[in-house]
Structure 1
Amino acid sequence: MIKSTVIIFLLVSCQVLLCAVHKTPGNKLLLENLRPNIISRSEWGARRPSSVRNLAEDPAPFVVIHHSDSDSCITQAICQARVRNFQNHHMNNKNWEDIGYNFLVGEDGNIYEGRGWGKHGAHSKPYNSKSIGICMIGNFNNHNPNAAAVKAVRDLIEYGVSLGKIQENYTLLGHRQTTQTTCPGDSLYQLIQTWPHWSSN
């Protein structure tokens, strides 16, 4: 009886220890396995921001999905050119400090670092200080992004939660839910309503 009790105790202790390891954001091995392919600012040729602000709420309680309402891209070279164009437009024409989004995702399956984690964006005025804004490159009014882009976005959100940069109980929204716009396109908006954490509120 005592022997079996000790064995059960040891098994439970090991299980608790394993769970603790897997839930710890600092676990480098786990985070490395979860890390999606993020193309850094230096890799895509970003300009320096004119100023940088941190999120007022960090980790972010919201994730806001956008589309760029532009041509899509299926190669890294074209996607990087698109992202540079977006940054130039945002900084030169809109006089923003930097590209508006925290991250951008192409149909090449890559994620492009915009302002990055923990940074105040310029993608949805009511939510800029408390959200991670993710823009899917393309126009998704009449069709969905391809499987590679969808997987990249979902992997990025999961990675953000694991890093402690997105709250575990985050709320997922389409841009049109935060301001008057058709973004992120009718098809993409229908799609994200099937994802975990999407809220109609």
Structure 2
Amino acid sequence: MTFPRAAQRPTIVSRAQWRADETKRDAHAHYAGGVTAIFIHHTDTPNDYDCADVPLTLRNLYTGQTRDRDWGDLGYNFLVDRCGNVYEGRAGGVDRPVVGSHTQGFNQGTAGIAAIGTFGRGTQVPAPMEHAIAALAAWKLGLRGVDPRSKVRLTSTNDKSRYPKGTSAEFDVISGHRDGNETDCPGDALFARLPAIRDMAAELQGGLPEHPRVSASP
């Protein structure tokens, strides 16, 4: 039985719409062979924002990550706000396997989705945000026919992750930042919701597989 993995692309607010200053970033994006896993993050910013003000938040994050961290662009491929709006992060094409700067050692062949806010223990993850993350993951993984509930084997590309350079490790296809790096990100509350997000993403792709597979990174 073939498991249908295609999912509808969600509405994505473009960089032009949130008014990214394209002179701040590197001129050329870098690409992998495909996206086979997603790492979930939080931005560690306040939660009590008005969603109409998110473009300003994105511009501030963009400035910090290009000027202060020298990442050449936003580190995250996508960002999601508490109202369920999805934003284009790193430049290069939302439907392409753009290499970000979100998870040290595991940026190659993965996408980073950041929840705008801080989601430590006891924080409520807004339902619209959770659904938007699942919908985005279902679509992005579906471009490569990847099941959101499966496992993936990734190889660390540097020694700044939990795993020395060249070490292969197995991850959930939808993992938290902390799975790859020594960090609390995406916060205990959001991390605890990842199983539900995986299930929701699988349902949005059209069903649930009986036996999640293990795939290799590109």
What is the TM-score when the length of structure 1 is the normalising length?
0.75
Q: What one-letter code is carried by the residue in structure 2 that aligns with 1:38?
A: I
Is the 1:73–1:108 Cα contact (8 Å) retained in structure 2? no
Partner of 1:35: 9
Partner of 1:146: 126
1:7-46 alignment to 2 at 5 Å? 34-46=8-20
Q: 1:106 aligns with which of 67, 74, 81?
A: 81
What stretches of structure 2 of length at least 5 have no aligned partner? 153-172, 202-211, 213-218
SS of structure 1 residue aligned to 2:36: strand
Is the 2:78–2:88 Cα contact (8 Å) retained in structure 1? yes
Q: Which runs of 4+ in 1 moved over 2 A?
A: 51-57, 72-77, 165-170, 193-199
Cα-Cα RMSD: 2.8
Separation of aligned partners in 2, 1:87 and 1:109: 20
User: What whole-Å deviation, never above 9, does each CA across 1:35-86 have from its counterpart, x for those lacking one?
Assistant: 322100100011222133333231x111000001111365442111111111
Deviates more, 1:168-177 or 1:113-122: 168-177
- Equivalent pairs counted in the alignment come to 171
User: What whole-Å deviation, never above 9, does each CA across 1:115-173 have from its counterpart, x for those lacking one?
Assistant: 234111001111111211000000000313201111111011112134x1573456111
1:51 equivalent to 2:27? Answer yes
Of the two, which has the highest radius of gyration? 1
Q: What one-letter code is carried by the residue in structure 1 that aligns with 2:11?
A: N
Identical columns (%): 29
Partner of 2:161: none
Deviates more, 1:46-55 or 1:95-104: 46-55
Structure with bigger helix share is 1
What is the TM-score when the length of structure 2 is the normalising length?
0.70
Partner of 2:45: 70
What stretches of structure 1 of length at least 5 have no aligned partner? 1-18, 26-30
